Homo-oligomer: A and B are copies of this chain.
Amino acid sequence: MQFYRLAFLLLFPFVSIAQNNDAETVRKIHEHILSKGMCYEWLTNLCTQYPGRLAGSAADSGAANYTKSVLETLLPDTVYLQECQTLYWERGDTGQIFRVLPDGDLSPIMGLSLGRAGATGPNGITAQVIEVKSLDELERLPDEEVAGKIVFFNRPMDPSFVNTFRAYGGAVDQRVYGPNRAQKKGAAGALVRSMTLRIDNVPHTGVTVFDSGQMKIPAFAVSTKDAERLSKALTEAPVYVYLNSNCKDVGMKPTYNVIAEIRGSEFPDEILLVGGHLDSWDVGQGAHDDGSGCVQAMEVISTLQKMNYKPKRTIRCVLFANEENGLAGGLEYARVSKEKGEFHLAALESDAGGFTPKGFSFEADTSVFKKYYKAVSQFLPTFEGYGLYFEMGGSGADISPLKSQKGLLIGLRPDSQRYFDYHHTTIDTIDAVHERELKLGAAAMTSLIYFLDTYGLGSSTTQNTESGTH
């Protein structure tokens, strides 16, 4: 028994009766998934058979076919692939970075080309490094100090934030826009300190964005350990590095949203979407980002089917294509949905890792948010019993284009402490995912979908609650 739960019952005393059945259903959902859930097994297959699922790659389409075939075994009403197109960028060789020592020797730096970065040409480039801590600091430098140099963005993520996503949000502008800004000032290349709170040898890739028609310069993430070494060396003498990379934009390629649906019996036109994104970066296995979210969404469908639950509303599992570098899947899904005149009452995405769930984050168009907020707050006591909170905030990139439908957008919020240890790296592999933590996320998602299906978001109960609290 938890203290704040008591407080809540004082506010909504009449809710507690109705929730006895709900509590039992949620308990059964947890029991089923923890003892018989399949999501970890599916994730193992996805990671080991289709690692590096960069949108448009063979692994990406293989993963779409694999997950489609698994979803078919769960016997939902429909399962299909939705094709869209993405610009396919290829890393080519691994890419190399060396510090050129005063005697001409080369000292290796752990690095990875950023996604959609430019290449060096076959002979590589050697240039002097200048370090900045922010885009603003770069802007203030005279162009002639930047021209021909390699700009090194080295502002660390701030460890003092409890939520690591806030620390990421406070540093990632360097990776996304740094190379672009550096090029505009004439830089020959860019290095970006990896987006992680650990000090280690693991470089973290991720997208970097050039303007349409802008010349793409080579740009690498460097490991935090090497970033610290490089920064120290810069305090002592001029530093030169040698870069070599042959990554390139190959052209447009097809990629696929995987969609499975259980048709609602009473309100089939109110869609409850649950999803993650199937693509990953080309390094590692995309285990936490975001194989976890995909198999959790599949587990929602699986659990409802195995518990023989007949939803009132349409429940749709969507494994989105191309979240990492283009959002083609999310955009195409929303476009087709709009064309069909669909309404997503709620969309829930898991894209923050397969760690122990801590809660859900809700967003919606301001015209409807307050109404939805009151409706979901009725579900909270049951979730609090599982240590889960509700908060206002973001949801997920893939479902964000659905916002104009004025439904409720929801993000699963797992414990964030370890996410950026693995994010966009070679070590985001199945052994970094804990089976029970992954399953608890799936159970939390299934429980929320159950509540949304049972009560909707604008029922008369909500009206009662409103009057009850004033």
Contacts and interface: CB of A to CB of B under 8 A. Distances in A.
B389 A34 contact: no
A30 interface: yes
A197 B436 contact: yes
Contact of A356 (B31, B391, B417): B417
A159 interface: yes
Contacts of A376: 3
B3 A390 contact: yes
Contact of A4 (B4, B34, B417): B4
Contacts of A377: 3
A121 interface: no
B35 A384 contact: no
Contact of A11 (B7, B159, B389, B440): B7
B162 A380 contact: no
B34 A160 contact: yes
Contact of A359 (B164, B387, B390): B387
B389 A384 contact: yes
A49 to B, nearest CB: 22
Contact of A417 (B35, B358, B359, B436): B436
Interface in A348-397: 356, 358-359, 373, 376-377, 380, 384, 386-387, 389-392
A436 B469 CA distance: 39
A164 B356 CA distance: 13
A3 B387 contact: no
A30 B162 contact: yes
A415 interface: yes
Q: Count this chain's copies in the assembly.
A: 2
A184 interface: no
Interface string A7-19: 1101100000000
A229 interface: no
A356 B3 CA distance: 20
A225 to B, nearest CB: 15
Given A11-B7, A160-B35, A197-B436, A1 B356 contact: no
Interface in A32-52: 34-35
Contacts of A415: 356, 415
A381 to B, nearest CB: 8
Contacts of A386: 162
A235 interface: no
Interface string A195-209: 001000000000000
Contacts of A373: 3
A2 interface: yes
A158 to B, nearest CB: 8
A162 B10 contact: no
Contacts of A469: 10
A133 interface: no
20 contacts: A1-B391, A2-B390, A3-B376, A3-B377, A3-B390, A4-B8, A7-B7, A7-B11, A10-B469, A30-B160, A35-B160, A159-B436, A162-B440, A356-B356, A356-B415, A356-B417, A359-B387, A387-B389, A415-B415, A417-B436
Given A3-B390, A3-B391, 16 more contacts: A2-B389, A2-B390, A3-B389, A7-B7, A7-B11, A30-B160, A31-B160, A34-B161, A34-B162, A162-B440, A164-B436, A197-B436, A356-B415, A358-B387, A384-B389, A417-B440
* Among all A-B residue pairs, the 3 with the closest Cβ atoms: A31-B160, A3-B390, A35-B160
